[in-house]
Amino acid sequence: MHKTFRAVALLALLLAAVPALRAFGQAPPVSFPSQTDDLDALGLSLWRAGQYESSITTLTQSISLRPSWPVAYNTRSLARAANGDLDGALADAEMTMSLLPLLSATPEDWAAVFDTRAYAHLLMEQWDEALEDYDAALTLTVNTRPAYVLGRGITLLELGDERQGLNNLKWGMLITQAYPVDPQLTDLTERMHAELRELMPEQEADAFEPDDRPTEANSLPLDGSLQMHSLHTGGDIDWVSFPLESGQRVLVFTRSESCDTYLTLFGPDGRTILREDDDGGEFRDSELQVTAQETGTYYAQVRHFFGDDGTCESYAIGGRAS
């Protein structure tokens, strides 16, 4: 097999691509028309640019010249999905699956193709089938792409598994910034926002509102007693304050059965971040400790991990100084 052809045809086209195929262990015979490599690259670029019909046309031309090569089918599946042809998207994903065993595909290749088919199932609201494929993708590789866990999280929420669904969405959000944006990832992100807003409607404001800035912070006793708050609307933040002497150590924590809090501790100027924590307590609770470097009034801010999409009916905040 021609190794140079393999590197050019696959690595250059696919490694920076979508959740699509990486380089395969074998390349097709060099007698195949080399122009299909350019067509595959163009089809991918058109899909990424949102020109879905042109992408489909280009990839269809590539397939007509090299019908047993799975790359074009995989990308065309994504283009068809973005263009609303869900039956066609699923058919192309199935075709990719059928062709992949003819090549020396890596586990990462298989994971990417399972993800493509899972995405088609998700768009068709075939939740059980989508979950099965997402599970397969995550089992096959440690190179977890955001689409794998965002899609799985949405699927789990639709199946009624709120806890695991939110965990997957959180995981996806944490790794998304390390990957290039593409139409599939954009769509899954928008679907995630919609799912979260439906799951977490607005709540009643707590008795401490308004407390959205340091100048409105409520005093927090440092005796371990709990102060009850809510994050009543998307993007709500709560501030509390407490006095510390230089050298004094403080523990600040949140407690809730369901609220995914994010806690940040600020210095006396109300701007300098001293420490922040997401899940340092039990389950989704936050907890942090710090030693005061100067005497003054310190501040803690609580927000929802999911930001503008997150609300919770109640959570408790407390603190202890030593």
Q: pLDDT tens digit string along 229-261?
A: 999 999 999 999 999 999 999 999 999 998 999
What pLDDT, on a 0 to 100 scale, did the predictor assign at position 282? 86
What the chain holds in terms of domains, given with CATH numbers, is: 3-199 (1.25.40.10), 214-321 (2.60.120.380)
Please count the residues of the chain: 322
The low-confidence residues of the chain, meaning pLDDT below 70, are: 1-33
What pLDDT, on a 0 to 100 scale, did the predictor assign at position 161? 98
Task: Identify the CA nearest to 182 among candidates 105, 81, 89.
Answer: 81
> Mind listing the pLDDT tens digit for each residue in 20-54?
443 333 444 434 557 888 999 999 999 999 999 99
Query: What's the whole-number average pLDDT of the chain?
Result: 90
What pLDDT, on a 0 to 100 scale, did the predictor assign at position 3? 33
> Mind listing the pLDDT tens digit for each residue in 177-190?
999 999 999 999 99
pTM equals 0.86
Cβ-based neighbours of 207, under 8 Å, separated by 6 or more = none
What pLDDT, on a 0 to 100 scale, did the predictor assign at position 103? 83
